[in-house]
Amino acid sequence: MPEPQLSHDPLTQTPDGRLSRRKLLAASAGAAAAIGAVGLPVLGTAAPALGAAKAGSDPDAGSSNLRVAPLIPEQNRGIILYSVRDRISAAPDDSGVPYGFERVLARLAEIGYKEIEFAGFTQSTEILGRQITPAEIRKILDDNGLVANGCHVTINPSTFQQQLDIAETLGMKNLGTGSAPTNSAYKSDWDAAADIWNELGRQARSRGMRLYTHNHDAEYNFLIDSGPRNAAGQQTRSSGIRRLEYFFGQTDPRYVFFEMDIYWAYVARFRHQKFINPNGVEKTSLFDPILTVADRSRRFPLFHAKDGARRPDLTNGHEMTPFGEGDINFQQFFQTIGERHFRSANWEMDTAPGGNENRGQSLAIAAQSYQNLSDLTIYLPK
């Protein structure tokens, strides 16, 4: 993957690489028509020109006061273990491919990953003759210089303190779930979920952690919150607000946080474009992943850096790929949202495991994706 470079504009880019609101709007998908009219790249499209200087120009001209830095700082490059779940859960075998927490985490550290997001805390009992404990996992992390930055567990008030105990043992700053706060389209259900999450988020904060939820595409579909009611008494139309964005406003920013899965956010942009407004008129609204983050920046400490190739023939409009092999413009995404030292980018690819026919596939793709993630760069003042 060629090293991408961006020109530095001191009028629109702040010292930490965050783009100003003026530049942000120019880059946003919501401004697609306007920026397309003046020939600028539209959000969500591949941008091969990002690394290219203008024809005939000196690529080093005016850059004496700049330095090249990683767009994703080394200490913030992570992986969710769901991507290599086949090897975490594997029983001992003679394939030579690492299995279980001790061997797989050692390999991920060798690749270069610094942060781990968990997708469960169990492995094959054939490895130790029993189940591994959170304390034993913590030792493996420490031995390999790894940090647990989050997890995907079931968020349930009755077991929440137990999950906090595990997270505390593992040294996590964030405790989360891969499920939506509610699968409902209705406002009342999101209100009820917000009440629960505000309380659980308060409990997490009291123990030094942030509670977060991870999105798929449905959470960015439109809320059903207006219009005539059906026979069950439910409203049937939408004001145009999206479900998770409504949840942003109903939850306390001190207690409830979010992990954007960037792939699923672009799937949402493809799939959820139209709604019926309170007057019964079909309206079009394009979802903008970049502005969704930028408008509430500190509520997104975690991301899933999951790539995808555009496939309009598929239901989701995209097909998952190793990081750097798809069409999502991560250079634009991460540079525009800024605050690069605040955010953790966890690589994920749901389809990485290769099964018994290719047991090493998921770890091989993890290595390829790490390299491409680390190749993203930014110009900063010296």
Cα 136 to chain center, whole Å? 28
Q: What is the largest CA-CA distance in the chain?
A: 69
Residue 22 lies in a domain: no
Quick one: pLDDT at residue 64?
79
Residue 162 lies in a domain: yes
Q: In whole numbers, what is the pLDDT of the chain averaged over residues?
A: 88
Residues 136-180 have pLDDT tens digits of 999 999 999 999 999 999 999 999 999 999 999 999 999 999 999
Mean pLDDT of 179-183: 97
Token duo for residue 276:
């019926």
Quick one: pLDDT at residue 344?
98
Quick one: pLDDT at residue 62?
53
Q: Where are the beta strands (DSSP E) in the chain?
A: 66-70, 77-80, 115-118, 147-151, 174-177, 210-214, 226-229, 235-237, 256-261, 274-276, 282-284, 302-305, 307-310, 318-321, 344-347, 377-381
Residue 290 lies in a domain: yes
pLDDT interval class at 11 (50, 70, 90): very low
Mean pLDDT of 124-133: 98
How much of the chain exceeds pLDDT 70, in percent? 84
Q: Assess whether pLDDT exceeds 50 at residue 322.
A: yes
Q: Assess whether pLDDT exceeds 80 at residue 26.
A: no
pLDDT interval class at 121 (50, 70, 90): very high
Domain that holds residue 88: 74-381
Number of independent structural domains in the chain: 1
Quick one: pLDDT at residue 278?
97
Residue 114 lies in a domain: yes
Residues 285-306 have pLDDT tens digits of 999 999 999 999 999 999 999 9
Residues 32-72 have pLDDT tens digits of 333 333 333 334 433 333 333 333 334 454 557 999 999 99
Residue 37 lies in a domain: no
Q: Assess whether pLDDT exceeds 50 at residue 309.
A: yes
Torsion angles phi and psi, residue 82, rounded to 5 = -60, -30
Token duo for residue 45:
């499209």
Residue 374 lies in a domain: yes
Residues 199-232 have pLDDT tens digits of 999 999 999 999 999 999 999 999 999 999 999 9
Quick one: pLDDT at residue 63?
58
Residues 249-289 have pLDDT tens digits of 999 999 999 999 999 999 999 999 999 999 999 999 999 99
Residues 323-347 have pLDDT tens digits of 999 999 999 999 999 999 999 999 9
pLDDT interval class at 348 (50, 70, 90): very high
Of 59, 99, 81, the C-alpha closest to 151 is 81
Residue 6 lies in a domain: no
User: How large is the angle between the packed helices 100-111 and 134-143, nearest 10 degrees?
Assistant: 30
Rounded Cα distance between 89 and 362, Å, is 13
Residue 193: give its domain's CATH number: 3.20.20.150
Quick one: pLDDT at residue 242?
98
More confident position, 13 or 376: 376
Residue 17 lies in a domain: no
